[in-house]
Chain A
Amino acid sequence: MAYWSPGPAREDAVSPLLSIRDLQVDFRAEAEPFRALHGLSLDVERGRTLALVGESGSGKSVTAQAIMRILPRSAAITGGRITFAGARSGERPIEIAALPADGTAMRALRGRRMAMIFQEPMTCLSPLHTIGDQVGEALRLHTNAGRREADAQAREAFASVGFPDPERALHTYPFELSGGLRQRAMIAMALIMRPDLLVADEPTTALDVTTQAQILALLARLQDETGMAILLITHDLGVVANMAHDVAVLYRGRLVESGPREAVMRHPRHGYLQALIRAVPRFAMRPGERLTPIRPVDAVIPVRAPPPRPVGPILRVEGVMKSFALRSGRFGGALRRVRAVSDVSLAIEAGTTLGLVGESGSGKTTLSKLVMRALAPDAGRVLFDDGAGPADVHALAGAGLFAYRRAVQFVFQDPYASLDPRMTVRQILCEPMEIHGIGTAARRARAAELMAMVGLDPAMLSRYPHAFSGGQRQRIGIARALALEPRLLVLDEPVSALDVSVQAQVLNLLKDLQAALGLTYLIVSHNLAVIDYMADTIAVMCRGRIVEEASKAALFRDPAHPYARALLAAVPDPSLDHPLDFAAVSGDLSDPSAWPAPFRLGEGEAGTMHALEPDHWVRHGAPGMMRAA
């Protein structure tokens, strides 16, 4: 068995920590075998971060799994070498690709010399075991440490990844933690054995933007402290620009470009990377500049006479409140009320886009549901004006409500879960028209027209959703929303589930549809670059309140509120000229009582909106509260 690579041991520091040569991975499939990696060659240098970039299906996760030898059972390494040189002196290089995947030699490497963190920290931790148990486990597996020793080391690991109370963390379950702390726990688990190589597979994709910045800062700091190498897998060029020393770009299982970050990002040579860089929404885009999608769509949008415009705004939200009852504590504890939306007021002019930004839990989705009348507010009104004067949405009944349902449509975040897999695309597109009593012939004609409007071939109407890619499905979702010729579309994170290479395509389509059909958009997102690209006016939400509202230009030029500033500062920009300030992202700015004066809000205090300039509003606390606090 060739456990050890041939040749003498090399102790020179110039050999890379991990080197991959001509790696080939095949998947067994029903029809024909599928080759995920075609002869990939890569080097991960000691103490450096190599970013592996590509869209989904490019083979970047497969590469990580091959290195760790945790490929799914249907996949196998069918050629090439993965050589782990190790960072310790006097060590012989180990030929990973030749080891049995679950053998002792490979298991001694996994978790000890090379560790891995994953995208979804919730599902990657067992909900039934404390994180203290799961973090200390790696230590107990690889050394003969007992429970007490493992606990002590785990406590240290929790402290080094920034847990506020490491002792308590030992006895905490994953579901008691926020997403950021869960990912910190994963990092503690990976690093407790001080591995030479950390494989991070989209470690911040599932996190909020400020949390993402904190986790990236943490990884950079830990790398400085331990000298480990990081293989960072990501599709986010902003993350690449801020984290990587070296960059490798994968496309369909082949390496298309690699080199030091400066060279690759500033002067991309390969057409795919050039296209990818042009397709990503970023700050500092020129007004009116369009993204260039990698795969453009040819949408045929019929031009219609614009619908009657209302005198005032098409949608006005006035002092809306919504709270939910939460059951807390053990085994039937007391009910706790949580304010999801408190005293929110907004207005959208017809034909414009309002962007609602905030982190998870800020209440933006609840607000969009209140607008949809999927939830009823505890107080306040939602007024909709289709040209015949404003009407209170939550007082509508009968024909008025039926008409409102037609005028306001929703586009969902997840294009996989939002299309019924048992219905053909034609059935999906026709269902809203069926409900609203449009005749069969008209329905069929409209379905074909809708497909063309979102750039899909009407010949595909009789296919089922599984035949389409994520981006195509999202376009079907948009076509469904357009079926009834609505006036207002509520877009809840319309591209956050999509691959970066098709986001531009969907965003451009939405812009074109708005221009041609005079649509009004309420777009909800945590991605500031997307909001920047799409919105005319932006409202920043935190803890159920709008803390700042301004035109796009004013907000990005001169954000006033500390929370808005923190959000903007935390977005990793793909341009190398605007690096993240890791030192600035350490604090938690979502707590209103910790904001500096005059923004500080006491417990339950609403504060008031102050005009900084026309169309630029920011929330201030009461002066009395400032003295008290």
Chain B
Amino acid sequence: MIGAILRRLLTMALTLLVISALVFLIIKLPPGDYLSNRIAELRAMGEAGSVAKAELLMRQYGLDRSVPEQYLMWLGLMPGPAGFSGLLQGDWGWSFEYDRPVAEVVGDALWLTLVVNLAALVFVHAVAIPAALYSATHRHSAGDALVTALGYVGLAVPGFLLALILLFYANRWFGLSIGGLYDAAYTGRPWDGDKLRSLLAHLVVPTLVIGLGGTAAMIRRMRANLLDELAKPYVVTARAKGMPPLRALLKYPFRMSLNPFVADIGNLLPHLVSGSVLVSLVLSLPTVGPLLLEALKSQDQFMAGFILMFVALLTLVGMLISDLVLVWLDPRIRMGKR
């Protein structure tokens, strides 16, 4: 078991290496980079002083070297102008656009992103599982039809549109301020009770908006899984034993229908970061999504590279977690038999 996990960690490291090469290559594919574009722009405006500063930066970050060399320096496998200083050493690079270290720019946004999306995740499961249980056990009833209809509406309405509508009415009816994750007054202030309260109030709309599409999809899938399982003979066995229906439902078919969802954790984790870009833009949430979009547009290479690598890492960790949970949850996998 421990050997297997170690093997998995090794393949994960190799996968990350391959991904890092791909990420860097793709970021570098368009001609130029942030600084050379900037220098050209400055030249055109005749600002020689600024050009000199930009050229200094270029040398400082090794952007004048070849692409493979830049890649190795970014990883920290080759000494750059400042010695070994790359991802492996924990140096995430410099954001040219913000003129600050990437760690500083991304730091706050990273955990706010996690907060928003975890809230959405909890919302999805808290709503979808009971709804799916109800709808599967009351198939073809009015309640099932209602849940299904609401689910389709949730699937069909684009998140950003819903965000706009909710923002308007939240502001009109409840006086919730528009956008952001906390009141503008708290920007830059340390986290205290008031700021937390403000965060909670602002979380409601994004949670609903981000979670709704996922809820609808999950109800549909969970309902289908449950219907498959409900027809299985072991459910009849449980009934024949005299088990109360709800208890039998939760112990047997529900437990069986969980596997696909556990297997899905690997996809959920990266989605936490990258899945809500549009909604974050519309609601002007200070999350990673808009930062990534901006960085890709302006070829802010270290910033974009770091965020993409972070998403990749989350994917791999998610896969590992889901495999471990599956092994723990399902004896058939644990014992390697069908």
Q: Tell me whether A and B are bound partners.
A: yes
Residues of chain A having any CB pair with chain B under 8 Å: 68, 70, 102, 107-112, 115-116, 118, 120, 123-130, 137-138, 141-142, 173, 175-176, 186, 189, 327-333
Residues from chain B with a CB closer than 8 A to the CB of A129 are 251-252
Whole-angstrom distance between the Cβ of B333 and the nearest chain A Cβ: 8
- Cβ of B331 within 8 Å of any chain A Cβ, yes or no, is yes
Contact with A along B327-338 (1 / 0, CB 8 A): 101111011111
**Whole-angstrom distance between the alpha carbons of A125 and B243 in the complex?**
14
**Whole-angstrom distance between the alpha carbons of A120 and B237 in the complex?**
11
**Whole-angstrom distance between the alpha carbons of A175 and B338 in the complex?**
7
- Cβ of B30 within 8 Å of any chain A Cβ, yes or no, is no
**Whole-angstrom distance between the alpha carbons of A130 and B169 in the complex?**
53
Whole-angstrom distance between the Cβ of A252 and the nearest chain B Cβ: 24
Residues from chain A with a CB closer than 8 A to the CB of B334 are 330-331
The reply to whether B242 and A109 contact each other, CB–CB distance below 8 Å, is yes
Whole-angstrom distance between the Cβ of B144 and the nearest chain A Cβ: 13
Whole-angstrom distance between the Cβ of B158 and the nearest chain A Cβ: 36
**Whole-angstrom distance between the alpha carbons of A162 and B327 in the complex?**
31
**Whole-angstrom distance between the alpha carbons of A330 and B4 in the complex?**
10
The reply to whether A124 and B241 contact each other, CB–CB distance below 8 Å, is no
Partner of A124 from the list B237, B251, B256 (CB cut-off 8 Å) is B237
The reply to whether B239 and A128 contact each other, CB–CB distance below 8 Å, is no
| Residue contacts A-B, CB under 8 angstroms, 10 given | A102-B239, A110-B240, A111-B243, A124-B236, A128-B329, A138-B241, A176-B335, A329-B335, A330-B335, A331-B4
A-B contacts besides A118-B236, A138-B242, A175-B335, 17 pairs, CB < 8 Å: A68-B239, A68-B240, A110-B241, A110-B242, A111-B242, A116-B240, A123-B232, A125-B234, A126-B255, A127-B331, A130-B331, A175-B331, A189-B237, A327-B336, A329-B335, A331-B4, A332-B336
**Whole-angstrom distance between the alpha carbons of A123 and B242 in the complex?**
18
The reply to whether A173 and B241 contact each other, CB–CB distance below 8 Å, is no
Given contacts A118-B237, A125-B234, are A141 and B335 in contact (CB under 8 A)?
Answer: no
Whole-angstrom distance between the Cβ of A408 and the nearest chain B Cβ: 30
Select from chain B the residue with minimum beta-carbon distance to A133.
Answer: B251
Whole-angstrom distance between the Cβ of A260 and the nearest chain B Cβ: 29
Given contacts A126-B252, A330-B1, are A111 and B336 in contact (CB under 8 A)?
Answer: no
Interface residues of B in 238-263 (CB under 8 A from A): 238-245, 251-252, 255-256
Residues from chain B with a CB closer than 8 A to the CB of A141 are 241-243
**Whole-angstrom distance between the alpha carbons of A111 and B256 in the complex?**
23
- Cβ of B233 within 8 Å of any chain A Cβ, yes or no, is yes
Residues from chain A with a CB closer than 8 A to the CB of B234 are 123-126
Contact with A along B311-338 (1 / 0, CB 8 A): 0000000000000000101111011111
Residues from chain B with a CB closer than 8 A to the CB of A176 are 335, 337
The reply to whether A70 and B331 contact each other, CB–CB distance below 8 Å, is no
Given contacts A173-B332, A331-B4, are A70 and B241 in contact (CB under 8 A)?
Answer: no
**Whole-angstrom distance between the alpha carbons of A333 and B334 in the complex?**
11
List 7 A-B pairs, minimum CB-CB distance, nearest first. A111-B242, A111-B241, A110-B242, A107-B242, A116-B240, A124-B233, A123-B233
Whole-angstrom distance between the Cβ of A202 and the nearest chain B Cβ: 12
Partner of B240 from the list A115, A126, A328 (CB cut-off 8 Å) is A115
Partner of B336 from the list A70, A116, A173, A328 (CB cut-off 8 Å) is A328
Residues from chain A with a CB closer than 8 A to the CB of B243 are 107, 111, 137, 141
The reply to whether A331 and B236 contact each other, CB–CB distance below 8 Å, is no
The reply to whether B242 and A331 contact each other, CB–CB distance below 8 Å, is no
**Whole-angstrom distance between the alpha carbons of A362 and B265 in the complex?**
42
**Whole-angstrom distance between the alpha carbons of A55 and B48 in the complex?**
97
Residues from chain B with a CB closer than 8 A to the CB of A112 are 242
Residues from chain A with a CB closer than 8 A to the CB of B239 are 68, 70, 102, 110
Select from chain A the residue with minimum beta-carbon distance to B333.
Answer: A331
Residues from chain B with a CB closer than 8 A to the CB of A68 are 239-240
Residues from chain B with a CB closer than 8 A to the CB of A108 are 242
Residues from chain A with a CB closer than 8 A to the CB of B332 are 127-128, 173, 175
Residues from chain A with a CB closer than 8 A to the CB of B1 are 330-331
Residues from chain B with a CB closer than 8 A to the CB of A102 are 239, 244-245
**Whole-angstrom distance between the alpha carbons of A328 and B255 in the complex?**
25
The reply to whether A332 and B244 contact each other, CB–CB distance below 8 Å, is no
Select from chain A the residue with minimum beta-carbon distance to B242.
Answer: A111
**Whole-angstrom distance between the alpha carbons of A277 and B153 in the complex?**
60
The reply to whether A175 and B337 contact each other, CB–CB distance below 8 Å, is yes
**Whole-angstrom distance between the alpha carbons of A124 and B334 in the complex?**
21
Given contacts A173-B331, A330-B335, are A126 and B256 in contact (CB under 8 A)?
Answer: yes
Whole-angstrom distance between the Cβ of A326 and the nearest chain B Cβ: 9
Residues from chain A with a CB closer than 8 A to the CB of B252 are 126, 129
**Whole-angstrom distance between the alpha carbons of A138 and B244 in the complex?**
11
Select from chain A the residue with minimum beta-carbon distance to B235.
Answer: A126
Select from chain A the residue with minimum beta-carbon distance to B230.
Answer: A73
Residues from chain A with a CB closer than 8 A to the CB of B331 are 127-128, 130, 173, 175
Residues from chain A with a CB closer than 8 A to the CB of B335 are 173, 175-176, 329-330
Residues from chain A with a CB closer than 8 A to the CB of B233 are 118, 120, 123-124
**Whole-angstrom distance between the alpha carbons of A102 and B240 in the complex?**
10
Whole-angstrom distance between the Cβ of A139 and the nearest chain B Cβ: 10
**Whole-angstrom distance between the alpha carbons of A327 and B338 in the complex?**
11
**Whole-angstrom distance between the alpha carbons of A298 and B245 in the complex?**
51
**Whole-angstrom distance between the alpha carbons of A49 and B1 in the complex?**
50
Whole-angstrom distance between the Cβ of A28 and the nearest chain B Cβ: 11
Residues from chain B with a CB closer than 8 A to the CB of A327 are 336
Whole-angstrom distance between the Cβ of B111 and the nearest chain A Cβ: 33
Whole-angstrom distance between the Cβ of A142 and the nearest chain B Cβ: 6
Whole-angstrom distance between the Cβ of B257 and the nearest chain A Cβ: 11
Residues from chain A with a CB closer than 8 A to the CB of B4 are 331-332
Residues from chain B with a CB closer than 8 A to the CB of A142 are 242
Whole-angstrom distance between the Cβ of A625 and the nearest chain B Cβ: 32
**Whole-angstrom distance between the alpha carbons of A110 and B239 in the complex?**
8
**Whole-angstrom distance between the alpha carbons of A189 and B233 in the complex?**
15
Whole-angstrom distance between the Cβ of A366 and the nearest chain B Cβ: 18
**Whole-angstrom distance between the alpha carbons of A123 and B338 in the complex?**
12
Select from chain A the residue with minimum beta-carbon distance to B258.
Answer: A128
**Whole-angstrom distance between the alpha carbons of A118 and B255 in the complex?**
22
